[in-house]
Chain A
Amino acid sequence: MLANTQGIENVHPPVTQDQKPVLSLQGISKSFPGVKALSEVSLELYPGEVTALVGENGAGKSTIVKVLTGIYQPEEGEIAISGVPVTFPTAQDAGKAGVTAIHQETVLFDELSVAENIFIGHAPKTRFGLIDKKEMRQRARDLLDRIGASIDPSVLLKELGIANKHLVAIARALSIDARIVIMDEPTASLSHKEIEETYELVERLKAEGKAILFISHKFDEIFRIADRYTVFRDGQMVGAGKIRDVSEPDLVRLMVGRSVDQVFPDRKPNRGPEVLRVVGYSHPTEFEDIGFSLRKGEILGFYGLVGAGRSEFMQALFGITRPSKGAIRIDNEIAVIRSPSEAIRHGIVYVPEDRGKQGAIKGLPIFQNVSLPSLKNTSKNGFLRLAEEFRLTRDYTQRLDLRAAALDQDIGELSGGNQQKVIIAKWLATQPRVIILDEPTKGIDIGSKAAVHEFMAELAAQGLAVVMVSSEIPEVLGMSDRVIVMREGRIAAEFEGDDLTPERLVRAAAGISEVAQ
């Protein structure tokens, strides 16, 4: 371990075999109707160590977090803290026992100050029973200093960026003196620099002797900061041990239960005639003068930093918002797109980034999600034909290897990767000419990722034009025939063939000129 060499050993003894876990789970099982979410899993967390929990979506990671934080009650098994058996009937009980979780969407209050956010529910009081603001600010400052965050405790939370909000959430976790800290994909939506800061923070928490459960899909960071790993697959614990004893391919194999080479599908560019041409698309605030041409069978990548205007442009192209200027030609004929339904009629479809809110219609079954934009074809004279809807759904979900209990299951019950498969299936069923995929594999597991990538390649080979927005460089490089880099709402560069290198992409996205290098 690299991290353990930086003086942290002085604070805390190095990992030894006889060290006792601060938290241990034994034989935990939890079922939901039709699914066994956890089946006799065990998990141990050690003080001053980071244990990475890895597994595909749907492997049971979030379920175990909910068991640990008192949201779910396991049907079987034992939770012990420092060897003493405990139960967490409510979330408060878990908090009192020293377990705290920092989620992506930890609930914070925009209109309250940083200090108030940290101490909400347990603010220091004056002798009159009122909140002691001075004391609270001071203690907030101490906590923030402890995690190396230079945030003024008296500013309102809404003035902070996402990374700093995260730090506030961590300070809040520390304020209740947690011994066990669960971090659920803490770096998923952070920039490079913010990710580095998060790693430093994890090191500090380790040095303080906290036991950390670190959930992540990113292998580089697991190998960088974790001391131990535990792998879940299909609700079972399939492996655990020290990170230094395991290799990345081994870990991937444990996770997916088969060997998946993280190579992207081998594609032969098979570009046909132009299907879409965009000229001078502009929006008053989000993007300016976007123009490009897209050909049949091509995968066109859109790379850029978060906030470069890629998603906003795609939403305008799909008719969700309207451009202030610009024109579209489809098959060399001028097309006007003022709404998604017009875009769909022109054969342009869009898989949004926000799967939960925009993509999936939660509360409705899988087959109704799939048939939704194709109802005109599955119905007759405006009357539904369920048999046709099921047939369509079976056809398209099978090709994507959907895993579900039944096609009339609520889409909201599926894992993220499987929801994405349903959404892609729904669009393919419309037999589109252009498919726009906005961060198609964000936050989904490796197995589903590979399935989506392979499917994209297959679609392109069949003559579909694919536009892919992605912030993951390996994905952009591995999948695209051509890449447009956007920066601050404009096209910064376009690369193809041998010009397509990671360095060039990053420089163009950040606005560093080639000459200056």
Chain B
Amino acid sequence: MSSSLADEKAATRQVPDRLRNPLQRFLASWELLLLGVAVAVFVLNSFASPYFLDPWNLSDATFNFTEKALIAFAMALLIISGEIDLSVASIIALASTAMGFAVQLGAETPLLIMIGLGVGLLCGAFNGALVTGLGLPSIVVTIGTMSLFRGISYIVLGDQAYTGYPSDFAFFGQGYVWWVISFEFLLFAVMAILFAILLHKTNFGRAVYVVGNNPVGALISGIRVPRVKFALFLLTGLMSGVAAICLTSRLGATRPSIAFGWELEVVTMVVLGGVNILGGSGTIPGVVIAAFVMGMVTFGFGLLNVPGIVMSIFIGLLLIGVIALPRLAGRLLAARRG
């Protein structure tokens, strides 16, 4: 090759590692905006009711989001990878029904935990096998299993309810670890950290992003795409099982309508947290803040005696709003550029 090219090479300019430092990134992030919303809701709530700032009251407020958030963490990873699981609420119903059934046969708490987690894993494996094994679209598969799993609960329970859970089982949904810190809230905090590490600090987490951005490119780069997706369905099922244990423990009873409609709230939480519904991007801190926002909004509505149906309308609008927002913002920016 000509020497001039070699000279150019010798004089190669160094490409810097980063364009913007982490602080600059944070200042331009969705998470910061969301944090602002969280603070605003918090302030509004404290004006709406004089009791809101009471520590025990705040502690109660966390139950509005902890169980859903446990599922949302796993769901965030699944959505980033380009899949979705709409059967999570039905997995709770099935897992709770299985636990209730076991209680009738005299099962003790350790066995109940294993059953709850086991049913969650099995349901996740079923979804994952259909999606990765047969190559079916997850949105269709999990709409199907959403009906299937809850349908089984209805057949087993009819209009009955299972009660009579052992008294030590109540700890998971009603127990406190220290002062106002409930077991559920501690679990939420620990899981938030574990999932953040999993997604942001491990090779597996990196693979999740790669698969979500370009599944074909991921395969060619040596990532075992089906294995990653299957693992994520398992994880989502497992976390639904965990949520089933907490919720069942908190309610002390199982009805087939348990956690009805939660899949929508979980997905809304994930998308509000800045996860791209089409896959490829999103963070766990975003989902954590979104959990607080949704929990406090729900609680604030409760303080103001807003009826449940309005709550449902609000969740629907919120979901559409956060999906539409980036697109609207993009248009505004484009218009300003032009």
Contact = CB atoms under 8 A, between A and B. Distances in A.
Interface of A: 34, 73, 89, 258-261, 263, 265-266, 318, 320, 339-341, 343-344, 350, 352, 357-364, 367-368, 372-373, 375-376, 379, 382-384, 390, 394, 397-398, 401-409, 426, 450-451, 453-454
A277 B9 CA distance: 36
Contacts of B281: 363
10 contacts: A261-B2, A339-B219, A340-B219, A341-B223, A358-B220, A383-B203, A398-B12, A405-B19, A407-B17, A450-B1
Contacts of A318: 220
Contact of A260 (B5, B9, B217): B5
A375 B206 contact: yes
Interface stretch (B51-59, B142-150, B207-215): B207-215
A406 B15 contact: yes
Contacts of A265: 1
B236 to A, nearest CB: 20
A357 B202 contact: no
B17 A363 contact: no
Nearest to B207: A375
B327 interface: no
A337 to B, nearest CB: 12
B8 A258 contact: yes
Contact of A383 (B1, B5, B202, B214): B202
Interface in B199-235: 201-206, 209-210, 213-214, 216-224
B220 A397 contact: no
Interface residues of B, number: 36
Contacts of B221: 340, 361, 372-373, 426
B19 A408 contact: yes
Contacts of B4: 258-260
A436 to B, nearest CB: 11
A352 B204 CA distance: 24
B280 interface: yes
Contacts of A394: 15, 17
Given A362-B214, A398-B12, A352 B19 contact: no
A407 B18 contact: yes
Contact of B202 (A360, A376, A382): A382
A398 B209 CA distance: 26
B307 interface: no
A453 B5 CA distance: 12
A281 B45 CA distance: 70
B127 to A, nearest CB: 23
Given A406-B16, A408-B18, 9 more contacts: A34-B19, A266-B1, A339-B224, A340-B220, A340-B222, A341-B222, A363-B214, A384-B201, A406-B17
A89 B213 contact: no
Given A258-B5, A259-B2, A357 B214 contact: yes
Contacts of B201: 383-384
B110 interface: no
A352 B221 CA distance: 11
Contacts of B18: 406-408
Contact of A361 (B5, B12, B214): B214
Across chains A and B, which 5 residue pairs bring their CB atoms closest together, nearest first?
Answer: A406-B19, A363-B213, A341-B222, A344-B222, A73-B338
Nearest to A90: B338
Given A258-B4, A372-B210, A384-B202, A358 B216 contact: yes
B220 A350 contact: yes
B203 A379 contact: yes
